[in-house]
Homo-oligomer: A and B are copies of this chain.
Amino acid sequence: MEAKELLREHFLKTISLTNEEFDYVFSHFKPISFKKNQAIISPGDEVDHEYFVINGCLKSYYLNDDLKMFILQFAMQTWWASDYNALFNQGKATTTVDCITDVDVLCLSSGDREKLCDELHQIERFFRWRSNKGYVAAHKRLLSLMNNDAKSRYEELMKLYPELYNMVPKQLIAAYLGVSRETLSRFR
């Protein structure tokens, strides 16, 4: 499906927009292609954009002082990614967002997001709904991490991203779950 239709379907799942409104909204999104392994956001960057994935798979992660990688999120088709702490608080990135595969995205700037939210109440609703979903998902993941239950984290992940197994190297899935590759292989 082409980018425009994917974005339209994505919005129309939650809100209603006329064709004219959607065309106007869409005109604020900029298509960009990235190559496998390319970084879109790096620690220290000023972050002014978020990315709606059309094709491929992104990961966002944090490297601690021992260079251990903690994966915060994968983003595949119709998922959004950015460093939201930096984006919403106009600070600098603390995480990396990079490409697991070649990736096509639609890119939206903060200024345009706020302008669209101002102009179209339905767009404000969309972003409220999206944040609600993200908030709930983050809290679920918090609970399963605190509960230290890697098996249910694995099941959650597969429910969230059923197509993940074919797209993502196993060591990245293990890094998302916070387990070793050996532990991961026992879950499958």
Contact = CB atoms under 8 A, between A and B. Distances in A.
Interface of A: 62, 64, 70, 72, 84-85, 88-89, 95, 117, 121, 124-125, 127-128, 131-136, 138-143, 145-147, 149, 178
A146 B145 CA distance: 8
Nearest to A124: B124
Q: How many copies does the complex hold?
A: 2
Contacts of A135: 84, 131, 134-135, 138
A72 B139 contact: yes
Nearest to A89: B136
Nearest to A131: B131
Contact of A84 (B121, B136, B146, B178): B136
A130 B133 CA distance: 13
A14 to B, nearest CB: 12
Nearest to A86: B136
